[in-house]
Amino acid sequence: MLLISLWQKKNQNTRPEILLWNAPVDNKIEQEFILTGKNARKLLPLVISGARKLEAGGADFLVLPCNSLHIFMKNIRTSVGIPVLSIVEETTKFVAGKKIGRVGLLGTKATIKSGIFNSQFRKHHISILIPEAGEQTSLNAVIHNLVRGRKTNRDARAVSRLVKRMVKDGTGNIILACTDLQLLALKQKRANLIDTLEVLAKATVEKMGEQ
C-alpha cells in the first residue's frame, strides 16, 4: 500500500494507524456512474454514512481516494466534524507549486463534467485540456475495466495514445485524475504524469505527522 510505504520512509519503526471503510456500492450503479456520469446522487448516502462511521471510529481526519466522488466534498465536510483532505485541492497545490500553467486531465466522465478541477485550477490561472468525446468514451471503458480488476495491454495503449495526443496539442503535464489509472503503469518519455493518488498519499502522511 502506497500510504504505508510513504509513512515508513519517514517513520521506519512504526506502521500508520488507519481506519478503512469500503463503500458497498451496487455494481450496476457504479458501472453507470463510471461510464455515463449518472446515478451520482445514489452514491451520496453511502459516502456520508462511511464518513460518519470513520469519525465515530476515532479518525482524526478523512481522505477519499476517489477523484469522481469529490463532487460530494462539500456534503461530506458538512456531515462530519473532522477535517477532510481533498485530492483535488492537494493536486492543485502540487501543480501550482511546480509553476505549471497547462495540464491534460484524464478521469471519468463524472470528474470531467463536474468541473471540480477547473474551479480550483482557475484560481491559479492553470488551463486544462480534456479528452475529446470519443476519447472520453474510450477512457470510461478503460477505467471500468480497471475497477472490475481487468488490466489489458490494449487499454494501456489506448490511454498512451490519448496522452501522446495531448502532448502534441501543447501540454506535457498530464494529471491522472482517476486513482485506478496508476494500475496501467504508464510510461511516457515526453509526458510528465501526475498521479493524484500519490499526491493525496503524500499529503496524508504529512497530515498524520501533525497529529
pLDDT at 188 (0 to 100): 73
- C-alpha cell at position 82: 473532522
Mean pLDDT of the chain: 92
Angle between helices 40-56 and 27-36 (to 10 degrees): 120
pLDDT at 31 (0 to 100): 82
pLDDT at 14 (0 to 100): 85
83: confidence class by pLDDT, cuts 50, 70, 90 = very high
Helices (H) and strands (E) counted in the chain, each on its own, are: 10, 6
Q: How far is CA 9 from CA 6, 99, 119, 202, in A?
A: 5, 27, 34, 11
- Residue 166: pLDDT over 90: yes
For the 88-195 domain, the top CATH level (class) is alpha beta
- Residue 100: pLDDT over 90: yes
CATH 1.10.3720.10 assigned to domain 2-86+199-210? The reply is no
What distance in Å separates the CA atoms of residue 145 and residue 109, rounded to the nearest whole number?
A: 15
Full DSSP string of 80-134:
-SS-EE-HHHHHHHHHHHTT--EEEEE--HHHHHHTHHHHHHHTTT-EEE---HH
pLDDT at 16 (0 to 100): 86
- Residue 1: pLDDT over 90: no
pLDDT at 47 (0 to 100): 94
Place of cell 500508520: 16
Mean pLDDT check: name the lowest of 2-11, 107-116, 156-165.
2-11
| φ and ψ of 128, to 5 deg | -125, 135
27: confidence class by pLDDT, cuts 50, 70, 90 = confident
3-state secondary structure of 211: coil
203: confidence class by pLDDT, cuts 50, 70, 90 = very high
Q: Where are the domains of the chain?
A: 2-86+199-210, 88-195
Q: How far is CA 194 from CA 80, 92, 111, 148, 200, in A?
A: 30, 11, 16, 23, 11
Mean pLDDT of 186-198: 87
Q: Where are the beta strands (DSSP E) in the chain?
A: 62-63, 84-85, 102-106, 127-129, 173-176, 192-195
